[in-house]
Structure 1
């Protein structure tokens, strides 16, 4: 790109940014602020010559989610240990790695960031991050809503010193905040002694996580500087943590406000100019309709977390009834070109229950919670505006969550667990699997007792040597699940019908069988993915699938071929078939 063209392109970027800024900050000097953002990103001297694919993902992609210290070896930096594990065990499986917050932090396992510009020395150095980014697409958290009460900015706030003195929200403790939606039960406002007297600061999540004041445009400029830093160290996917809570407006619920959506659009404009291959993913653990809004008109998030999937899939396998899952999938719009769903069924957090409000009734949600407590899980709560409490999320390892049904434990834990992943891998969208799911990790109750945090139950730290011994032991359920799950992923990765944007239709096969039809975009492969979601054998009549008689059909998972298209398959408890008219390469 020659200098004149680049200058013209920069002018167009400035104009786009000004349009965003007029909606976010009506009183600001939009031209000056747009130039400050361009400078913060380093966009003046940056251009990407290669034209990227319209959709920078395909059926081969899988993101594995992990903390930087999920696997440890004595005398070795955890990030180095993690990289070596990924190279050896997941090099042919994972294309991307989401390393959860790897910054110095004072609480919440990294999400109370003390210093955005440093790697936690207990994990490693920036060189370790860059080494991972050299071999995998690296996803990192932009903890955008709040920072630590021990951060330099908050120390400046307490001292009345710039710039931090203007980076946080001081609120009237006598104000009316009953409409404010929150995911926690602590008090919204935290009293703080400052050089200017007592102030009450806004804390959506905890009193150690103080919300940043995006009404001050300089906070936005600071965040763009942080984005540039992460880009320089190899990050190519940004997870916008808790972004739905970003903007606060007196008299509103302070959730999903217009300014919040416009900030996401502005960040999309900036990173797309810097490099169109960079992705933004919004983390919005909220009801389904509100979550979908973060696609915008294809101009906000490249991908949104499919938050309704984990609790709906859990409900399906606990009850043996897929109707709620099926109705939800039928109502989900296909993602627009250039956007996709991020599908997951377990993460470092719990299984959120807000995303199934309106999809499951109160009794169904209560039944899930009660059963998960019986399986060793914990329940985290949120405050309602009128002063009540409601279950917010279930904290449990996914492997332990699958140990039975509403009737209690049974012998089908491993089959049920693999069935859940097979359903997720067949869905439209980009799959992400939590490392502890790949390893079939149990509940870590000792860690909960040590931290006092329910979420610690699914944040186990493995000793690398002990883990590798288990993965080599054929009698270990860790070995069995890891082998079968990675084989399942690798089969998916070869099928063009499982491209994240390939055609999808939900099949009507009754409440016991959940089924999808996927078709590759060039229409040369069809896959009928059908799962028995019960603990009883179930018949699948092939005639109900309308298979084309001129094609040869084979189950990709078992290798079984089917020539009698009027015949019947008896699906064992939790068995999944992927019936394809041709196998991928």
Structure 2
């Protein structure tokens, strides 16, 4: 006689699960009471209860091969007498369509500096961009990603103004530090002074500013700050956010005597937000933005209980180096060492964003000499350099400020005639590898360096934050001979090809191919094993012969190149790839 099976253990309630996180963050507080306050924020929306979440059957997939993000500011495209968010919507309808599934609108709130990342009010849309209705209208066509800028607020935010006047909410929301304290161990992404002198009713205080003196860090050691931010999240969800991007999250928690980056409490705060979102808004995705070395970045998957998605920050500098040098050595070495994302997690693959090309993620992957060669090439192509402070008081290159299109004007040897082909190769690599691709609007449009923007703002990052006038942009896009039109047409074509291939599902099997150094290649296979894709890219500015025998194609299958739409020759034959030509060789065309 078989013993009766043991009953499943009871699933902890949302209150208990939140309290477990809060016990780590705030051991001196009544964490059950704090958890109740969090749940109460959502109770009015009837989106959360104290009961365990009801399993959904069947569970909808979080993503598929058809997913691709467009990264853009709300006013990257402007038209006279129209709110920029409405112009952006028109651009997406007219020139993007189903080539992307989601749009990341970079911070669209009232702000005082850093092009939106010094938020004055989380609850409002910058009236110069439009209003919440414009955001929601775009959300009818695409999933939307909102920035959760919570490491800091603008010095013009009402909380900081209250701090300066000794009033709540705000008087206890910011870090104050003795100006003589030893902060030498603190990891910095900038070279500005860490502490900002500020007059208050109790005298001169020195507040913590990781990024700039206009971006004042919040003190998450105060649980009221966490409650405020969770209420911000509630508002974002109500206005259509499907993806939340945790900006600069690695710096969230501070403790003197440590690096103040990636602390245990920071990871626990991310876990808490994941627990909350999974309960109150199932399917909402959490993505962490941590522009740091690769081994540090990977920790934000946690044990499948932190970010659903992490930015693949090492990809951009490695692709740039590979195409400038014409060798896959470092890109291939990194690719072979990258673990598959945990089940239920994935990577966000991008080459360009509103920021520069981060060089910290290349640390340990490219030698100092290789990095110096890239820096020199970028300078010769009109790019600029931003630095960060080091613990010994020195400076190190933090990011390369340049349009990614212009970063590929040539090779380490200088400018050549292959800029368009080289650039399309870079984007094709990012489209094919494991994860979800994200295309910056200025990559989609092959926007060159905006040196006039740098001169106007005095900020290096403005070089890659051009604002197009829509009439001028349409004129370029409608001219089949313009560089903008050529790149846009071919890139969106490849994006749509990708979207139809099960082997390009974010979780599809991936294996790095060992080919001659001027090739970078990998194999993808769909979950049902019905489709294989061999992605091969010529990284050089010379024609290169490729032996199909090196790919070990199954001889009984018929093979096509998806990009050209043509059949491949026999597996024992060779073909020659033009400079920067890419192949997506498949045995199954949906």
TM-score (norm 1): 0.97
| Structure-1 separation of matches of 2:143 and 2:587 | 32
> CA shift at 1:510, angstroms?
2.1
> CA shift at 1:461, angstroms?
0.4
Which position in structure 2 is the counterpart of 1:12? 13
| Structure-2 separation of matches of 1:342 and 1:276 | 20
Which position in structure 2 is the counterpart of 1:106? 112
Alpha carbons of structure 1 residues 70 and 158: separation in structure 2 relative to 1, 3 Å: same
Which position in structure 2 is the counterpart of 1:258? 264
Question: Could you report, residue by residue, the CA deviation over 1:84-116 in whole angstroms, capped at 9, with x for unpaired residues?
Answer: 111111112111000000000000000000001
| Structure-1 separation of matches of 2:122 and 2:369 | 42
- Which of the numbers 148, 152, 157 marks the counterpart of 1:142? 148
Which position in structure 2 is the counterpart of 1:415? 421
Which position in structure 2 is the counterpart of 1:24? 25
Give secondary structure in 2 for the equivalent of 1:428: coil
| Structure-1 separation of matches of 2:440 and 2:84 | 17
Which position in structure 2 is the counterpart of 1:3? none
Give secondary structure in 1 for the equivalent of 2:153: strand
- Which of the numbers 540, 551, 569 marks the counterpart of 1:545? 551
The answer (yes or no) to whether the contact 1:43–1:274 under 8 Å persists in 2 is: no
Which position in structure 1 is the counterpart of 2:5? none
Question: Could you report, residue by residue, the CA deviation over 1:347-382 in whole angstroms, capped at 9, with x for unpaired residues?
Answer: 000000000100011111111111101101000000
Which position in structure 1 is the counterpart of 2:71? 65
- Structure 2 residue 164 is the aligned partner of structure 1 residue 158: yes
- Structure 2 residue 310 is the aligned partner of structure 1 residue 309: no
| Structure-2 separation of matches of 1:174 and 1:16 | 40
Q: How does 1:361-440 map to 2 (within 5 A)?
A: 361-440=367-446
Give secondary structure in 2 for the equivalent of 1:522: coil
Q: How does 1:156-235 map to 2 (within 5 A)?
A: 156-235=162-241
Question: Could you report, residue by residue, the CA deviation over 1:520-576 in whole angstroms, capped at 9, with x for unpaired residues?
Answer: 000000000000001111111111111001100011111221241100111111000
- Which of the numbers 112, 128, 132 marks the counterpart of 1:126? 132
| Structure-1 separation of matches of 2:476 and 2:238 | 37
In structure 2, runs of 5+ residues without a counterpart are 1-8, 49-53
| Structure-2 separation of matches of 1:41 and 1:484 | 45
- Structure 2 residue 339 is the aligned partner of structure 1 residue 324: no
Question: Could you report, residue by residue, the CA deviation over 1:2-32 in whole angstroms, capped at 9, with x for unpaired residues?
Answer: xxxxxx9997101111111111111110100
| Structure-2 separation of matches of 1:10 and 1:468 | 55
Q: How does 1:439-518 map to 2 (within 5 A)?
A: 439-518=445-524
TM-score (norm 2): 0.96
Which position in structure 2 is the counterpart of 1:36? 37
> CA shift at 1:44, angstroms?
7.4
| Structure-2 separation of matches of 1:89 and 1:29 | 53
Q: How does 1:243-282 map to 2 (within 5 A)?
A: 243-282=249-288
> CA shift at 1:511, angstroms?
1.1
Alpha carbons of structure 1 residues 90 and 10: separation in structure 2 relative to 1, 3 Å: farther
Q: Provide the alpha-carbon RMSD of the alignment.
A: 1.4
- Which of the numbers 513, 519, 527 marks the counterpart of 2:525? 519
| Structure-1 separation of matches of 2:340 and 2:253 | 29
The answer (yes or no) to whether the contact 1:55–1:338 under 8 Å persists in 2 is: no
| Structure-2 separation of matches of 1:39 and 1:170 | 30
| Structure-2 separation of matches of 1:74 and 1:138 | 25
In structure 1, runs of 5+ residues without a counterpart are 1-7
Which position in structure 2 is the counterpart of 1:293? 299
Give secondary structure in 1 for the equivalent of 2:98: coil
The answer (yes or no) to whether the contact 1:38–1:44 under 8 Å persists in 2 is: no
| Structure-1 separation of matches of 2:529 and 2:77 | 42
The answer (yes or no) to whether the contact 1:328–1:359 under 8 Å persists in 2 is: yes
> CA shift at 1:40, angstroms?
2.4
Which position in structure 1 is the counterpart of 2:51? none
The answer (yes or no) to whether the contact 1:55–1:337 under 8 Å persists in 2 is: no
> CA shift at 1:133, angstroms?
1.1
> CA shift at 1:55, angstroms?
3.6
Give secondary structure in 2 for the equivalent of 1:74: coil
| Structure-1 separation of matches of 2:376 and 2:471 | 36
> CA shift at 1:148, angstroms?
0.2
| Structure-1 separation of matches of 2:516 and 2:270 | 40
| Structure-2 separation of matches of 1:133 and 1:269 | 24
Give secondary structure in 2 for the equivalent of 1:176: coil
The answer (yes or no) to whether the contact 1:395–1:457 under 8 Å persists in 2 is: yes
Which position in structure 2 is the counterpart of 1:5? none
Question: Could you report, residue by residue, the CA deviation over 1:161-209 in whole angstroms, capped at 9, with x for unpaired residues?
Answer: 0120000000011010111001100000000111111000000000000
The answer (yes or no) to whether the contact 1:98–1:139 under 8 Å persists in 2 is: yes
- Structure 2 residue 87 is the aligned partner of structure 1 residue 81: yes
